[in-house]
């Protein structure tokens, strides 16, 4: 599928976004570890979460959907099946890294593999700490997938760990914490900045003893042994995904005359850095109402067309908006003045090298951008020429961001291979259309196609 985005009139309306991707992944894994049936309401149903569900099925769980809710039944952490074949994590690093933690806690033998893209992503960052905990795990050369975890004798615990991570990564932290549920002494994780803390919040809400503090500019998480107490089925509602909401927020900010309301969006502060940065750049975004669900802050957000000025992002803020740089770059392209991103070299290790690909794709659309090792600078003048075919490079967030660019570019933007957006937000084209955007879905090979919806 290709998406053709024509310069659009104002976007207006009220929407809900799909369930949070990170929290859905965790909820599926927590349901897998619990014995019995769990109910996960408003989950994200998309490419990456289907990947996780297929993997947990191979480990002995079964599931069905009813009215958009997910019901998952598991034999429990200590009765999981060693899968006969490798668990296929496809293109999902969250699936591979978090699942490696659960398989390690379960003490079963399993191999984890994925797409060529996933095989290029760094896995040493989980292999090394898991080994130190006593997990027998092997990676391919270079510390990459496939991973092979060997089972332990029943009743044999893992060791506690004091781990100083060189990167702030919620996937690394969560992998260690999940494996740590089978450890016989405390797990201490030090991160250079606080990465998203959904795993800690979910563990805490299930009664597991886990503390988070700041020490000498670092984030410190301590998990006490005996965490198995949490192994009871879940019944929770997943908040809307702030990362999915970001595409709609920026679409409203850059399209003249727009005003959009997004309901029930997750507002965990370790995720909402984009909103704060855009507000600093002059964005008209407000949280209308905020409450708590399943240990996570949730709220309604309103965003309206705004004249943005250039801004800058570095340090802890990078971590709080780590998935939002593709869409942030679009907002920055329409701002007046330079926007600088530093300390963001992790972006090179995502679904694509997001620094290189973003810079290449933005220049192709006539935007003045300069690449650095740890970030980029966009020289905005309030106008984006557009008019080129955009290539998402197999990256769902790049596909949606380049589509948003087309909403206020001077010429239409055609996003090729746009089907990839279904990895995290399958309804995205229809949502844009419902808000009033001029979006066409076309077959990949030629330009004959119909209007979406």
Catalytic residue ranges: 323
CB of 199 or CB of 255, closer to ligand S3P = 199
Contacting ligand S3P (CB under 6 A), which of 174, 277, 306, 352?
174
Return the H-helix or E-strand segment holding 247: helix 242-254
**Judged by CB under 6 A, which stretch of 169-177, 208-216, 378-386, 437-445 contacts ligand S3P?**
169-177
Length of the chain: 453
Shortest CB 322 distance to ligand S3P, Å: 5
Which structure tokens are listed for 111?
A: 């191999």
Query: Both tokens of residue 407?
Result: 């909403």
User: Strand 62-66's sheet: what is its strand order?
Assistant: 62-66, 69-75, 35-41, 235-237
Instruction: State residue 312 phi and psi, 5-degree precision.
Output: -145, 150
Smallest distance from ligand S3P to CB 184, Å: 26
Site map 180..219 versus ligand S3P, x via CB under 6 A: ---------------xx-----------------------
* Least distance between ligand S3P and beta carbon 103 (Å): 17
Over the range 55-83, which residues count as b (16 or more CB within 10 Å of their CB) and which as e?
bbbbbbbebeeeeeebbbbbbbbbebebb
State how far the Cα of 219 lies from the Cα of 6, in Å rounded to an integer: 45
Q: Looking at 72-80, 164-172, 175-183, 369-377, which segment touches ligand S3P (CB under 6 A)?
A: 164-172
d(CA 118, CA 237): 29
When the beta carbons of 163 and 305 are compared against ligand S3P, the nearer one is 163
How many residues contact ligand S3P, by CB under 6 A?
11
User: Nearest 10 degrees: CA dihedral of 170, 21, 429, 271?
Assistant: -50
Taking CB under 6 A as the rule, does residue 323 contact ligand S3P?
yes
Q: Would you say 171 or 365 has its CB closer to ligand S3P?
A: 171
Q: How far is the CB of 160 from ligand S3P (least distance, A)?
A: 22
Pattern 81-100, ligand S3P, x by CB under 6 A: -------------x------
Per CB under 6 A, the segment of 62-70, 165-173, 272-280, 289-297 that binds ligand S3P is 165-173
Cβ partners under 8 Å of residue 377, min gap 6: 338, 339, 340, 341, 369, 370
Q: Interface with ligand S3P by CB under 6 A: which range of 39-47, 104-112, 168-176, 233-241?
A: 168-176
Part in contact with ligand S3P (CB under 6 A); list of ranges 30-38, 166-174, 330-338, 410-418: 166-174
Under rule CB under 6 A, residue 171 binds ligand S3P = yes
Closer Cβ to ligand S3P, 90 or 196, answer by number: 196
Q: Where are the alpha helices (DSSP H) in 133-197?
A: 170-180
Residue 322 makes contact with ligand S3P by CB under 6 A: yes
- In the bound complex, which residue of the shown chain has the CB atom lying closest to ligand S3P? 22
Indicate the DSSP class of residue 365. Answer: T
Q: 157-160 contacts: CB < 8 A, separation 24 or more?
A: 157/182, 157/183, 157/184, 158/104, 158/105, 158/133, 158/134, 158/182, 158/183, 158/184, 159/132, 159/133, 159/134, 159/183, 159/184, 159/185, 160/133, 160/184, 160/185, 160/186, 160/187, 160/188, 160/225
Per CB under 6 A, the list member of 29, 99, 170, 313 interacting with ligand S3P is 170
Nearest-angstrom CA–CA distance, 327 and 244 = 10
CA proximity to 191, closest of 262, 129, 260: 129
**Minimum CB distance to ligand S3P smaller for 170 or for 274:** 170
Work out how close the CB of 323 gets to ligand S3P at its nearest, in angstroms, rounded to a whole number.
Answer: 5
Q: How far is the CB of 436 from ligand S3P (least distance, A)?
A: 29
- Would you tell me how many other CB atoms lie within 10 Å of the CB of residue 371? 14
Query: 414: helix, coil or strand?
Result: strand
CB of 266 to ligand S3P, least distance (A): 12
Segment near ligand S3P (CB under 6 A); pick from 61-69, 106-114, 167-175, 258-266: 167-175
Please give the DSSP secondary-structure letter assigned to residue 173: H
Chain positions contacting ligand S3P, by CB under 6 A = 22, 25, 94, 169-171, 174, 195-196, 322-323
């Amino acid at each position: 599928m290709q998406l053709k985005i024509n310069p659009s009139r104002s976007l207006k309306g009220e929407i809900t976004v799909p369930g949070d991707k990170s929290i859905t992944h965790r909820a599926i894994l927590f349901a897998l570890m619990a014995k019995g049936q769990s109910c996960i309401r408003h989950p994200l149903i998309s490419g990456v979460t289907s990947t996780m569900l297929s993997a947990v099925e191979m480990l002995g769980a079964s599931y069905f959907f009813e009215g958009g809710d997910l019901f998952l039944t598991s034999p429990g952490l200590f009765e999981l099946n060693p899968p006969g074949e490798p668990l296929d994590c496809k293109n999902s690093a969250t699936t591979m890294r978090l699942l490696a933690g659960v398989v390690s806690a379960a003490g079963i033998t399993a191999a984890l593999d994925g797409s060529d893209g996933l095989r290029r992503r760094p896995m040493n960052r989980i292999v090394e700490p898991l080994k130190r905990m006593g997990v027998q795990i092997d990676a391919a050369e270079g510390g990459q997938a496939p991973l092979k975890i060997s089972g332990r004798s029943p009743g044999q615990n893992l060791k506690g760990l004091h781990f100083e991570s060189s990167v702030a990564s919620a996937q690394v932290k969560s992998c260690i914490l999940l494996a740590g549920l089978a450890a016989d002494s405390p797990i201490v994780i030090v991160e250079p900045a606080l990465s998203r803390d959904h795993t800690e919040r979910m563990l805490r809400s299930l009664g597991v003893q886990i503390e988070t503090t700041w020490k000498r500019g670092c984030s410190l998480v301590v998990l006490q042994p005996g965490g198995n107490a949490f192994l009871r089925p879940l019944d929770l509602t997943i908040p809307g995904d702030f990362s999915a909401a970001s595409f709609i927020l920026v679409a409203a900010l850059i399209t003249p005359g727009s005003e959009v309301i997004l309901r029930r969006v997750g507002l965990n502060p370790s995720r909402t850095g984009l909103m704060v940065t855009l507000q600093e750049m002059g964005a008209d975004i407000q949280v209308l109402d905020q409450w708590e669900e399943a240990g996570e802050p949730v709220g309604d957000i309103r965003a309206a067309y705004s004249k943005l000025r250039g801004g800058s992002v570095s340090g802890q803020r990078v971590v709080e908006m780590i998935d939002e740089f593709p869409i942030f770059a679009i907002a920055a392209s329409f701002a007046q003045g330079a926007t600088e991103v530093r300390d963001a070299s992790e972006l090179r290790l995502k679904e694509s090298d997001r620094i290189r690909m973003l810079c290449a794709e933005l220049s192709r659309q006539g935007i003045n951008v300069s690449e650095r090792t740890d970030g980029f600078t966009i020289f905005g003048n309030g106008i984006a020429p557009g008019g080129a075919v955009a290539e998402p490079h197999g990256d769902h967030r790049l596909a949606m961001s380049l589509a948003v660019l087309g909403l206020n570019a001077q010429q239409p933007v055609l996003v090729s291979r746009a089907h990839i957006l279904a990895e995290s937000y399958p309804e995205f084209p229809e949502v844009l259309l419902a808000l009033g955007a001029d979006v066409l879905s076309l077959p990949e090979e030629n330009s004959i196609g119909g209007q979406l919806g």
